């Protein structure tokens, strides 16, 4: 038995208050001469004893209430042993949350952080007694519950710990804490504790979101939280933080360029970091970063020759360090034999560069390699020939300044895009929005990202027009232009453009500087995409076709339109969503993970598309989805580079990060952690019970006082004859 506020025990002296009031009432008497002493004496003989007993009962209850309130305010606690002594089985409900993010795989010496965390959990075993309801959770991108409120059993816990490995995931603290709360709540024990064993990674714990803080507060309402950070270590880690294809369309026989970002998260300079690239199992390139400053990053170009069409699996690695998980990154390159592009000219001309598509064709067909096959097969046709062309025989269709289009062609194009084709639409003076907008629909579904409105001059007074600006800086097409010199980009001008009102699924990519509506907008339909350029593909309304950025933009547009969504890099834990051809009738597809395990996934209808979503991307590497009637679709899944910063918070900095939260930090300097927890364990706090008891006692006192008074009133209500009554009775007689 202990007291958290022992000085408030002085409040016990308050028990004197009701006694004093009682005595004062007794001694503060009024005096009266009285004749009917005999009646009074007889009444007292009957009542006085009862009054005295009632008074004593009420006085005792008042004193008891004061004692209970004073005791409650001093917050007495009953130790577990004490509770047992009183006959109560005082259990401790424990939720052990173990950080399983891949920073825990950091191995600066002999053992990894995870090994030390396991040892810490084993240290905590001494804080638990057999039978205590215990949960064990491995925290990663989401929590994995290994034990759920099972009675504590040493062997079972050991076994569960043995099966645990760090996950190739970052720690999503918000989600994990959010799901710890119900686990804590369902733990049926009077004393509940939550132990969080973590490396206290600065990137995660240094700036806790309000949601995470709220979750900690909520858990703190239910249980005592102990954060057990591991001992600090070197934190030196070099990671391959990114790997991305930099080339345009990947075609057989060309050289693809990849950018590998190497980042030093440590405090020491790293020398000679070797970056290797493997195509499948075969090493294809190697670069050396001679010097990488602390906190610095360097992007290394890597090249690979694309000899065969199909999905090429590329893996970049750097040399071993204390954390290998982030030393590897994967990418998938889809190599085509040749990209077939159909360019439809809405304003054809025999004169060079007077037609609508001349600049397009030039931009799409750069000088082919000597003796090589052009990477694209561009076929330009006047718009009147469009009905004779089957879009399905092309990868990309570009419509430029089309005066009109038949509904049959729109339907064909719709199907073409749904099955994975790419459509780019350029506008111009031949376009009549009144005709175009209703034409470019299939039923309720619009083919274009938005409604084409009236043509307008570019904002500003400059006669040469306004420059381009990114509407979505993260979009691959916007990023492609962003790498170009700003001064060069500033020379690309748009004088006139159509105002486009984006539809619900439309997404702005580029815009004219100062304008509200997009210049380039995108929309996904089925497996394919549609791009709408709101100005001309020739020099009529913009100088862009003669600008050096035009070929870059066109190449990127074709690459973007021919890239499948699943070919982008994915992150571990992120559901892998693959769009299927709408004509396909399969109801389930099989995914194969990096380890070779196969899982059948149901095909779903989502946003008008048929998709298969694979949720269990638990490991980095290559995933395959068997495609009906084609080669398997491959996707690369990588670890989240944010977790690579393995620097941790220690001592004061961790305390500062957790300040104001109901947590106790048991740092690595506390050798006997279980003992420390047992010492701080105050067992069952009794103040609530005492306060409830005080309220109950006061209620009882009030009830009894009311009842005594009621009895008194009931007795008083018996009639006593008065002189008038006696006379009245006599008169009546």
Partner 1 sequence: MAPKPRPKLKYLDSQVLQNLDSLDLVAREVVEGVRVGMHRSPLRGFSTEFAHHRPYVPGDSVRHLDWRVYGRTERYYVKLYEAETNFDAHLLLDASASMRFGSGGLSKLEYAKFMAASLAYMIVDQRDSVGLAVFDSQLRRYLPPRSAMGVLSIIDEALAQAVPEPRTDIAGLLHEFAGRIPRRGFVILFSDLFDHVDEFIKGLDHLRFRGHNVAVFHVMDPYELRFPFGGGTWRFEGLELEGEITTQPKRIRAAYLEELRKFLQQIRKACERSHVDYVLVDTSRPIDVVLSAYLISRIHQAAGTRNR
State the residues that interact with partner 1 by CB under 8 A: 25-44, 46-48, 51, 712-716, 718-727, 730-731
In angstroms, rounded to a whole number, what is the distance separating the alpha carbons of residues 332 and 337? 16
CA-wise closest residue to 505 among 523, 517, 521, 525: 523
In angstroms, rounded to a whole number, what is the distance separating the alpha carbons of residues 274 and 318? 6
Q: Which of helix, strand or coil describes residue 290? A: strand
- Give the count of alpha carbons within 13 A of 67, CB side only: 10
Please say which residue, 58 or 173, places its beta carbon nearer to partner 1. Answer: 58
Cα–Cα distance list, 304 to 256, 313, 374 (Å): 5, 11, 18
Please say which residue, 463 or 719, places its beta carbon nearer to partner 1. Answer: 719
CB of 716 to partner 1, least distance (A): 5
CB of 703 to partner 1, least distance (A): 18
Give me the residue label for tokens 């004073």: 70
Please say which residue, 89 or 725, places its beta carbon nearer to partner 1. Answer: 725
Please, which residues have CB within 8 angstroms of residue 52's CB and are 6 or more apart in sequence?
none
In angstroms, rounded to a whole number, what is the distance separating the alpha carbons of residues 223 and 217? 10
Please say which residue, 41 or 211, places its beta carbon nearer to partner 1. Answer: 41
CB of 61 to partner 1, least distance (A): 17
- β pairing state of 238-245 and 255-264: antiparallel
CB of 725 to partner 1, least distance (A): 8
- β pairing state of 92-99 and 493-494: unpaired
Please say which residue, 48 or 587, places its beta carbon nearer to partner 1. Answer: 48
CB of 33 to partner 1, least distance (A): 5
CB of 71 to partner 1, least distance (A): 31
CA-wise closest residue to 533 among 431, 654, 602, 619: 431
Is there a contact between 506 and 475 (Cβ–Cβ < 8 Å)?
no
Please say which residue, 48 or 407, places its beta carbon nearer to partner 1. Answer: 48
Cα–Cα distance list, 464 to 30, 193, 347, 544, 569 (Å): 108, 70, 23, 11, 40
Q: Which residues pair with 201 in a beta bridge?
A: 648
CB of 717 to partner 1, least distance (A): 9
CB of 730 to partner 1, least distance (A): 5
Give me the residue label for tokens 């209500």: 717
Please say which residue, 50 or 188, places its beta carbon nearer to partner 1. Answer: 50
Q: Which of helix, strand or coil describes residue 703? A: helix
Please say which residue, 50 or 688, places its beta carbon nearer to partner 1. Answer: 50
Neighbours of 436 (CB within 10 A): 20
In angstroms, rounded to a whole number, what is the distance separating the alpha carbons of residues 403 and 717? 105
R_g of the chain computed on alpha carbons = 40
In angstroms, rounded to a whole number, what is the distance separating the alpha carbons of residues 179 and 145? 10
CB of 15 to partner 1, least distance (A): 22
Please say which residue, 483 or 733, places its beta carbon nearer to partner 1. Answer: 733
Element (H, E) at 37: helix 37-73
In angstroms, rounded to a whole number, what is the distance separating the alpha carbons of residues 382 and 356? 9
CB of 707 to partner 1, least distance (A): 13
Cα–Cα distance list, 249 to 17, 391, 552, 700 (Å): 91, 19, 11, 85
CB of 722 to partner 1, least distance (A): 6
CB of 24 to partner 1, least distance (A): 10
Please say which residue, 110 or 715, places its beta carbon nearer to partner 1. Answer: 715
Please say which residue, 20 or 462, places its beta carbon nearer to partner 1. Answer: 20
Please say which residue, 31 or 162, places its beta carbon nearer to partner 1. Answer: 31
Q: Give burial (CB, 10 Å; 0-12/13-18/19+) of 726.
A: exposed
């Amino acid at each position: 038995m202990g007291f958290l506020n022992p000085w408030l025990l002085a409040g016990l002296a308050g028990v004197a208050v009701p006694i004093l009031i009682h005595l004062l009432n007794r001694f503060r008497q009024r005096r009266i001469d009285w004749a009917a002493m005999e009646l009074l004496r007889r009444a007292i003989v009957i009542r006085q004893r009862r009054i005295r007993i009632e008074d004593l009962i009420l006085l005792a209850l008042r004193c008891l209430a004061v004692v209970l309130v004073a005791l409650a305010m001093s917050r007495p606690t009953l130790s577990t042993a004490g509770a047992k002594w009183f006959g109560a089985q005082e259990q401790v409900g424990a939720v052990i949350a173990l950080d399983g993010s891949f920073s825990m795989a950091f191995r600066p010496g002999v053992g990894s952080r995870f090994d030390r965390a396991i040892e810490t959990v084993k240290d905590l075993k001494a804080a638990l007694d057999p039978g205590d309801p215990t949960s064990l959770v491995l925290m990663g991108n989401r929590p994995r519950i290994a034990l759920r409120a099972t009675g504590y059993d040493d062997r079972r816990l050991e076994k569960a710990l043995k099966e645990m490995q760090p996950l190739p995931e970052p720690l999503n603290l918000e989600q994990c804490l959010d799901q710890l709360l119900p686990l804590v709540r369902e733990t049926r024990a009077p004393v509940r504790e939550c132990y969080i064993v973590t490396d206290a990674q600065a990137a995660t714990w240094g700036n806790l979101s309000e949601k995470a803080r709220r979750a900690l507060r909520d858990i703190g309402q239910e249980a005592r939280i102990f954060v057990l950070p591991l001992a600090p270590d070197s934190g030196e880690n070099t990671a391959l933080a990114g790997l991305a294809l930099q080339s345009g369309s990947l075609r057989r026989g060309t050289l693809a360029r990849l950018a590998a970002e190497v980042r030093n998260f440590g405090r020491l300079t790293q020398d000679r970091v070797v970056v290797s690239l493997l195509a499948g199992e075969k090493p294809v390139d190697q670069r050396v970063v001679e010097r990488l400053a602390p906190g610095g990053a360097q992007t290394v170009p890597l090249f690979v020759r694309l000899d065969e069409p199909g999905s090429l699996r590329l893996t970049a690695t750097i040399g071993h360090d204390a954390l290998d998980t982030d030393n590897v990154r994967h990418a998938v390159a889809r190599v085509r034999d040749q990209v077939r592009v159909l360019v439809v000219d809405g304003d054809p001309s025999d004169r060079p560069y007077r037609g609508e598509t001349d600049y397009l064709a030039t931009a799409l067909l750069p000088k082919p390699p000597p003796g090589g096959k052009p990477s694209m097969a561009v076929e330009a046709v006047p718009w009147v020939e469009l009905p004779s062309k089957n879009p399905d025989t092309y990868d990309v269709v570009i419509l430029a300044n089309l005066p009109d289009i038949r509904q049959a062609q729109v339907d064909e194009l719709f199907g073409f895009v749904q099955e994975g084709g790419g459509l780019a639409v350029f506008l111009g003076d031949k376009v009549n929005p009144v005709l175009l907008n209703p034409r470019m629909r299939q039923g309720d579904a619009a083919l274009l990202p938005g409604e084409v409105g009236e043509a307008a001059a570019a904002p500003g007074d400059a006669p040469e027009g306004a420059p381009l600006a990114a509407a979505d800086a993260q979009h691959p097409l916007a990023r492609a232009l962003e790498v170009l010199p700003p001064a060069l980009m500033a020379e690309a001008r748009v004088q006139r453009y159509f105002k486009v009102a984006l539809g619900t699924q439309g997404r702005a990519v580029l815009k004219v500087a100062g304008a509200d509506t997009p210049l380039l907008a995108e929309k996904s339909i089925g497996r394919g995409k549609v791009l709408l350029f709101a100005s001309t593909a020739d020099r009529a309304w913009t100088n862009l076709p003669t600008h050096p950025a035009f070929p870059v933009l066109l190449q990127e547009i074709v690459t973007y339109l021919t890239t499948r969504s699943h070919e982008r890099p994915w992150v571990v834990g992120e559901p892998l969503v693959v769009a299927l051809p709408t004509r396909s009738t399969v109801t389930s597809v099989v995914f194969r993970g990096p380890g070779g395990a196969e899982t059948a996934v149901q095909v779903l209808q989502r946003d008008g598309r048929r998709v298969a979503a694979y949720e269990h991307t638990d490991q980095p590497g290559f995933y395959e989805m068997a495609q009906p009637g084609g080669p398997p679709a491959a996707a690369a899944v990588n670890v989240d580079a944010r977790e690579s910063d393995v620097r941790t918070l220690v001592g004061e900095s961790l305390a500062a990060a957790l300040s104001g939260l109901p947590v106790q930090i048991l740092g690595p300097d506390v050798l006997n952690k279980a003992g420390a927890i047992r010492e701080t364990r105050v067992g069952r706090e009794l103040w609530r019970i005492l306060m409830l008891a005080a309220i109950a006692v006061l209620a009882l006192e009030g009830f009894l006082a009311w009842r005594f008074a009621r009895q008194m009133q009931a007795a008083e209500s018996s009639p006593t004859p008065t002189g008038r009554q006696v006379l009245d009775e006599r008169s009546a007689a």
